[in-house]
C-alpha cells in the first residue's frame, strides 16, 4: 500500500472508492436525465471526490466550489458554520448538485443548503462520499451516499486532521498512537 501512515488504518481502499464513485455517477445520471447541472464541491475536503465524480458524470455540468468551515482544530466541530468562499456564478433557476466529503453532525450541509436556497435555484441534490449517521445533530436529506460508516474519525481522499492526511489515496481510520 502506498503512503502508509502509522496511525491510519485503511478502511476504504483506492479501488473500493473508485468503484463506488462510478456507481454514484451512474445513479446521478439516471436521476438527472438531460438536466444541466451545476456541481458545487465543498472545499477542501471534497476535492478528490469532486474531481473523480465529475469526470465520471456523463452529463452537461458546470463546476463550482464553495468553502464552508465548521471545524476548529482537532476532531470536534465548532457547530458554527461560515461560508468563507462563495461560488462565482448565478445558480438562480439552475439545478444544483452539492458534493461533500463527509456528513457528520449535518450542520455544514444544512448551512450550505440554506445558503444555496437563498439564491433561488430550481433544485438542489446532495451527495456525500461518506456518511456518519450516528453523529447527526440536525436532520438533513442526503440524496446520494457513497459509504455509511461507524463513528470513527477518518482521514484521506481529501479528509484531514488539522490539515494533514488529505493526500492519502484511500480513506482510513485515524487513531492516536499511545507513545
Ligand atoms: P458536520 O458539519 O459535523 O456534518 O461536519 C462536516 C465536515 O466536518 C465535513 O465536511 C468534514 O470536513 C469534517 N469532518 C467530519 N467528520 C470528519 C472525519 O471523520 N474526518 C475528517 N473530517 C471530518
Ligand atoms: Mg468537508
Q: Which of 52, 101, 104, 131 is catalytic?
A: 104
Measured CA to CA, the distance from residue 2 to residue 21 in angstroms comes to: 20
pLDDT tens per residue, range 18-28 = 999 999 999 99
Q: How far apart are the first and last CA of the chain?
A: 24
Measured CA to CA, the distance from residue 111 to residue 106 in angstroms comes to: 9
Listed residue (81, 125, 99) closest to 45, CA to CA: 99
pLDDT tens per residue, range 110-141 = 999 999 999 999 999 999 999 999 999 999 99
Expressed in angstroms and rounded, the spacing between residue 169 Cα and the centre of ligand 1 is 18
Decide: residue 21, CB within 10 A, 0-12 exposed, 13-18 middle, 19+ buried: buried
pLDDT tens per residue, range 81-112 = 999 988 889 999 999 999 999 999 999 999 99
Considering every ligand atom, which ligand is closest to the CA of 105?
1
The closest residue, in CA terms, to atom 19 on ligand 1 is: 153
Question: What's the pLDDT score for residue 33?
Answer: 86
What are the phi and psi torsion angles at 60 (to 5°)? Answer: -80, 110
Residue 2's pLDDT band, with cuts at 50, 70 and 90, is: confident
SS3 letters across 23-43: HHHHHHHHHHCCCCEEEEEEE
For the whole prediction, is pTM greater than 0.75?
A: yes
pLDDT at 1 over 60: no
Expressed in angstroms and rounded, the spacing between residue 30 Cα and the centre of ligand 2 is 26
What are the phi and psi torsion angles at 111 (to 5°)? Answer: -65, -40
Which cell numbers in the block locate residue 11?
478502511
Residue 34's pLDDT band, with cuts at 50, 70 and 90, is: confident
Which cell numbers in the block locate residue 143?
440524496
Question: What's the pLDDT score for residue 69?
Answer: 85
Listed residue (87, 72, 76, 102) closest to 38, CA to CA: 87
Q: What is the mean pLDDT of residues 146-172?
A: 97
Amino acid at each position: 500500500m502506498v503512503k502508509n501512515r502509522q496511525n491510519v488504518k485503511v478502511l476504504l481502499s483506492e479501488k473500493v472508492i473508485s468503484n463506488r464513485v462510478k456507481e454514484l455517477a451512474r445513479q446521478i445520471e439516471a436521476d438527472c436525465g438531460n438536466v444541466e447541472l451545476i456541481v458545487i464541491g465543498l472545499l477542501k475536503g471534497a476535492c478528490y471526490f469532486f474531481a473523480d465524480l465529475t469526470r465520471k458524470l456523463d452529463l452537461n455540468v458546470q463546476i463550482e466550489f464553495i468553502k464552508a468551515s465548521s471545524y476548529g482544530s482537532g476532531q470536534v466541530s465548532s457547530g458554527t458554520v461560515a461560508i468563507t468562499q462563495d461560488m462565482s456564478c448565478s445558480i438562480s433557476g439552475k439545478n444544483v448538485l452539492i458534493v461533500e466529503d463527509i456528513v457528520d453532525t449535518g450542520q455544514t450541509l444544512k448551512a450550505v443548503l440554506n445558503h444555496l436556497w437563498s439564491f433561488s435555484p430550481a433544485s438542489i441534490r446532495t451527495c456525500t462520499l461518506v456518511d456518519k449517521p450516528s453523529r447527526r445533530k440536525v436532520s438533513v436529506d442526503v440524496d446520494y451516499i457513497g459509504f455509511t460508516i461507524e463513528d470513527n474519525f477518518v482521514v484521506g481522499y481529501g479528509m484531514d486532521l488539522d490539515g494533514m492526511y488529505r493526500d492519502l489515496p484511500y480513506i482510513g481510520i485515524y487513531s492516536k498512537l499511545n507513545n
